[in-house]
Amino acid sequence: MRTNYLCEKEISGCSVAGIMSEEGRKFSGELIMKSISVMRERANGLGGGFASYGIYPEFSHLHTFHLIFENNRAKQLTEEYLKENYLIEKDEPIPTREQGSIKHPPGLWRYFLKFKKRRKEGGFTEEDKVVRTVMEVNTKIGGAFVVSSGKNMGIFKGMGYPEDIGRFYRLEEYEGYIWVAHGRFPTNTIGWWGGAHPFGLLDWAVVHNGEISSYGINKRYLSNFNYHCRLFTDTEAITYLFDLLVRKHKLSLEMASLALAAPLWDTIERFPDNLKSIARAIRLVYGSALLNGPFSIIVGHSRGMLGLVDRIKLRPLVAARSGDMLYISSEESGINEVSSSLDKIWQAKAGVPIIGELKCLSH
């Protein structure tokens, strides 16, 4: 029997999308929901989510923790732990609305936190202490999971198609200058609220399409720096690697990309001499941070947005510009849906980052 392959579509897994105004102009979450919704066939209803930057201007000086609680005991223990180190300026349920396709959501809460004044710990920054808080909650308090922990940003995710998750969280009521979105099609891990994308730490938010076959090595490498992967998804490791390489080790986004999507050795040997020595050094020092396997990722952070595909481009990623707007998507359709006039559109190159930078650093 002959199969009509022309009727089948190779979707290559999850959908990712990101929209940014490099001038820092804010726009509604409606735009990113439209972008991700046209790629619905890339998801299967087992995970969707969004990250946005600039949504809490009145609390921009505070760390905002979004948390998932599976039971009241987890919430009680988490609040007792938070009060040891922070002043809780405000806390409340994350606003939601009933959405027919979203069944049995867990407890969803947000906290606006200020550090208590204490004697300084040598070598530890405020950000280091937040990372330690996230690791402690995720590893030691059963049924509690930190979804995001940055300033003036938040991650909203759960079980469902992304556009349904967006309506559930009322994202059309928020305005931000960067939005990142994900529609999940899990292949070798379970679908659950904490395992939906984006994954966050401090102001990092990562969405990912693909499979990281180096996850075991990456996870062990990160444990040397007190990052502990507990959310059963390889994307969590990518998030922590960006924090380690960029925030802790002070690599530029370009150098971090060179470490995570390192070229093959024979490719490095064909580089110009000045770049060859740098690429060799990065590959040697950060060999255990290399992300092996097919992937395309979009990374949001308070100062910009980055898109990156693996070193032989086994997953799709398209980018476009229109004025100060940068668009990144799994498919061109996700961009055309929200912008009818583009100055430039291009396919991501293997291992070469697409970088958007916020021009107004006051954000």
Residue numbers annotated as active site? 14
SS3 state at 248: helix
Residues 6+ away with beta carbon under 8 Å from 291: 212, 214, 218, 238, 241, 260, 261, 310
Q: Which residues contact 223 (CB under 8 A, 6 or more apart)?
A: none
Do residues 90 and 339 lie in contact, with contact meaning Cβ atoms separated by under 8 Å? no
Q: Cα–Cα distances in Å, from 145 out to 61, 318, 340?
A: 23, 32, 39
**Residue spans of alpha helices (H) in the chain:** 30-37, 72-85, 126-140, 162-168, 215-223, 235-242, 253-260, 265-268, 273-285, 332-336
Closest CA to 43 of 283, 330, 275, 345: 330
Task: Return the SS3 of 163.
Answer: helix
**3-class secondary structure, 307:** strand
DSSP letter string over 267-289?
Answer: HHTTS-HHHHHHHHHHHHHTGGG
Alpha carbon distance 81, 346 (integer Å): 47
Between the alpha carbon of residue 286 and those of residues 136, 222, 259, the distances in Å are 26, 11, 6
The token duo for 331 is: 């498919």
- Is there a contact between 18 and 302 (Cβ–Cβ < 8 Å)? no
Q: Which amino acid is at 350?
A: A
> Hey, CA dihedral for 150, 134, 16, 161, is it positive or negative?
negative
